[in-house]
Structure 1
Amino acid sequence: MVSEIIHKDLPFELVEYQNRLKKLKKEMASEGVDYLLVNDPVDLNYLLGYRSWGFTFLDWQVLIISLDYEPILVTRKLESTNFKYQTWIENMVTFSDEEDPMDRTIEVLTQRGVVNKRIALSFHSWFINANQFLALKDKLPNDVEIVDGTNITIKCRLIKSSREVTYIRQAADITSKVMNQIKEISNVYPTENDIAQRIMNDLISSGSEFPATPPFIGVGKRSTYGHPTWENYKTSKGDVVFLEFSGCTYRYHAPIMRTLSIGEPSNQAKRFEETSRGVINTIIDSIQPGMKVEDIDRICKEYLSSKNMNQYFHNRIGYSVGIGFTKWMDGMSIKKGVDMELQENMVFHIIPFITDFEISVAISETILINKNGAEKLTNAPQEIFVLDNE
């Protein structure tokens, strides 16, 4: 059995997954949770190595973790080979497309004993719908208490291992390489599709897997839209173009934001560029382990106040990053009231997105918290990239 596990297609050694499971069970015990139902692909990747996109075709799959038993997976029969060859798990129950997956889940829980137990699942998960939640409540014994376990897995994922940091560094190298090549676009007035094609081609040729989200690209006023995807809009002289994307290695990400200008940028764009660069570098220079997450938000707002630029900043200043399937955010937003201590090997995307809702400029970085402060993992000039091919 050991040799079979060793030869499975895993991005980490088996001992790392075992340590993650131990850490998770410790969190469960501290929260008074007997069972944790895990169905987010990010958590399945973290705990098992799972990295298939099959979850998009599934109504339900769940990893059942208890304090007293080995984990067991309930999944669609067609998807079972992903778990057999790309994860370390040995215990699996499958269902056909004609079966009710909730019945199979209840069957496993009943066999393991759930009377008077507390069962946790993520109330914020995209991967359990209202009907499934109600079915669980209806089919479980009345004395079972269902509680929110969202933060149990997030707490475990926030501090990365050395191998996780290695993969994030590799993703950051890809991200940086592709961003630094963006000025090689030869079109005089490229469309959003031209830019997207260049980014995607360069990501793939540089070794990236399919990232959690497509590149975000917005021309002109579309640069102010939240997360614009390419729609073939053509650039004109004087336009700014918002860019955000990430390379991906074993589902780990390191995103970046930059802004293009078609020809010389306007004075307002230059002003926003200076502000965004000032915010990002002030934060990087100020961070120390032991500070609170909310201190990053405070540093950002104090800098903006000192430059009288508060009115141009409207969003959170960042979030944790790591594993991603449908987004690369890894569970924690940086904002006032988040009093968790910054610790070594946490990774964040810092996003000083400056906008007057006519144009926007952003210079973002993926950073690593280390024993001395913060290290910038992404590496591209902190400036507006000027395209002038006339």
Structure 2
Amino acid sequence: MTTHVAPAPFTADDYRARATRVLADAAEQGLDGVLVTPGPDLVWLTGYRPTAITERLTVLVLARDHEPTLLVPALERPDAEAAEGVRGLALQAWADATDPYAAAAALLRADGTYGVSDSAWALHLLGLQERLPRSRYRALTDCLPMMRAVKGPDELARIAAAGAAADATYDQIVGHRFAGRRETEVAADLAALLREAGHEQVDFTVVGSGPNGANPHHEAGDRVIARGDAVVLDFGGLMHGYGSDTTRTVCVGEPSDELRRVHEVVRLAQQAGVDAARPGAACQDVDRAARAVITDAGYGEAFIHRTGHGIGVTTHEPPYMVEGEEQPLVPGMCFSVEPGVYLAGRFGVRIEDIVTVTADGVERLNRTSRELRVVE
């Protein structure tokens, strides 16, 4: 496989620019600031990923009325100081047997309204509310859903590299034997190939054969794959800190006429969804375009999930391509387009690419063939 050169790491200035933009966006939403707890938001804003997410409070406070401050347990301070994006922040440590919520409350307005990371523990939020009973909190997905949605050039390059590695994995896996092997064996091959292609983390390797393919999030099991089976392959993870996610459906041996027909419907639906993605279009337009093709073909009730999700430092994040999401697409957004048809007890078909919105349209970041592939 092709070896990808690791990109230059993000700098303290890169992280600082992100924090500045988040504060400006928060102010536009009437927020007094943003509270960022361990998870993807903290990684994106500081590069800091605590070695263990525990009951001890860690929170980055971005507020309009004082300098950005990272509050950490004292025993984790050395790790926090080593993170590139923590340089330039005020770093405040709290010791066991002291009250971390009182320390955090001192950084907040008593009657302020703050956006909070979706990954925040209820334990911590309730602790803050007890210290500041007039304060209010909103989930970041609700108040700043596009916080990480628009990627910069360095981020786009990482996602493109992850997509190319996933493509290389697919090109390899179709040369492996499927018939007579368990789903778990093929899933293990996928994971190994993703790592060989440069992924540091494998998040999922869906191998849904025959009737198991009708479950969109099927966990690979002990079912032995047989000739004639359709097999849904959905796999991805993180490479250089950014996600990949692609799906192709293959057939073990000669496909039936029905499988060919359903696969072609899904292929056309996926193309329609990609074609609908352009600057100014609403997220729901992508879903509507793909869903219309499947509905017109008579399989509308068998398309049981949204058409897509955003991708970045996690493999699932806003924006979501789903009915009711009117957020307009803008250049730099990256998301999946993945319609599917699922016939319970029989088989499923899904085709998925990651795309990025450009100035005048959209670019696929997965380029393997979307035709029905026959494997052994």
Using structure 1 for the length normalisation, give the TM-score.
0.87
Report deviation, 1:95.
4.6
CA distance in 2 between counterparts of 1:244 and 1:80 reads 39
Counterpart selection for 1:138 from 111, 122, 130 = 130
Structure-to-structure mapping, 1:183-202, within 5 angstroms? 183-186=174-177, 188-202=179-193
CA distance in 1 between counterparts of 2:296 and 2:138 reads 44
Secondary structure of 1:181 counterpart = helix
Name the counterpart of 1:17: 15
The root-mean-square deviation of aligned C-alpha atoms, in Å, is: 2.3
Contact 1:41 1:50 in 2 (8 A): no
Contact 1:60 1:127 in 2 (8 A): no
Q: Match for 1:120: what amino acid?
A: G
Percent of aligned positions that are identical: 22
Name the counterpart of 2:289: 299
Counterpart selection for 2:211 from 210, 221, 225 = 221
Provide Cα deviations, 1:305-342, integer angstroms capped at 9, x if missing partner.
33333232111111111111xxx112222112211111
Name the counterpart of 1:346: 333
Q: Match for 1:259: what amino acid?
A: T
CA distance in 1 between counterparts of 2:119 and 2:260 reads 39
Report deviation, 1:93.
3.1
CA distance 1:150–1:183, change in 2 (3 Å): closer
CA distance 1:84–1:10, change in 2 (3 Å): farther
Name the counterpart of 1:312: 302
Counterpart selection for 1:359 from 308, 330, 347 = 347
Provide Cα deviations, 1:88-136, integer angstroms capped at 9, x if missing partner.
214333456x547xx21331332x35223223324xx24312x333222
Contiguous gaps of at least 5 residues in structure 1: 1-8
Report deviation, 1:59.
5.2
Counterpart selection for 2:163 from 162, 172, 176 = 172
Contact 2:249 2:372 in 1 (8 A): yes
Q: Match for 2:121: what amino acid?
A: I
Contact 2:23 2:33 in 1 (8 A): no
CA distance in 2 between counterparts of 1:255 and 1:373 reads 21
Name the counterpart of 2:41: 43
Provide Cα deviations, 1:246-268, integer angstroms capped at 9, x if missing partner.
24223211210112322222222
Name the counterpart of 1:374: 362
Counterpart selection for 1:105 from 101, 106, 110 = 101
Report deviation, 1:295.
1.1
Report deviation, 1:51.
4.1
Contiguous gaps of at least 5 residues in structure 2: 1-6
Between stretches 296-305 and 24-33, larger displacement belongs to 296-305
Secondary structure of 1:372 counterpart = coil
Name the counterpart of 2:319: 332
- The structure with the greater share of residues assigned to helix is 1
Report deviation, 1:152.
4.5
Name the counterpart of 1:207: 198
Structure-to-structure mapping, 1:271-290, within 5 angstroms? 271-290=261-280
CA distance in 1 between counterparts of 2:183 and 2:51 reads 27
CA distance 1:244–1:203, change in 2 (3 Å): same
Name the counterpart of 1:92: 91
Between stretches 163-172 and 145-154, larger displacement belongs to 145-154
Q: Match for 1:330: what amino acid?
A: E
- Aligned positions, number: 367
Counterpart selection for 1:115 from 104, 107, 110 = 110
Q: Match for 2:109: what amino acid?
A: V
CA distance 1:292–1:74, change in 2 (3 Å): same
CA distance in 2 between counterparts of 1:199 and 1:58 reads 35
Provide Cα deviations, 1:68-102, integer angstroms capped at 9, x if missing partner.
22222223445444422233214333456x547xx
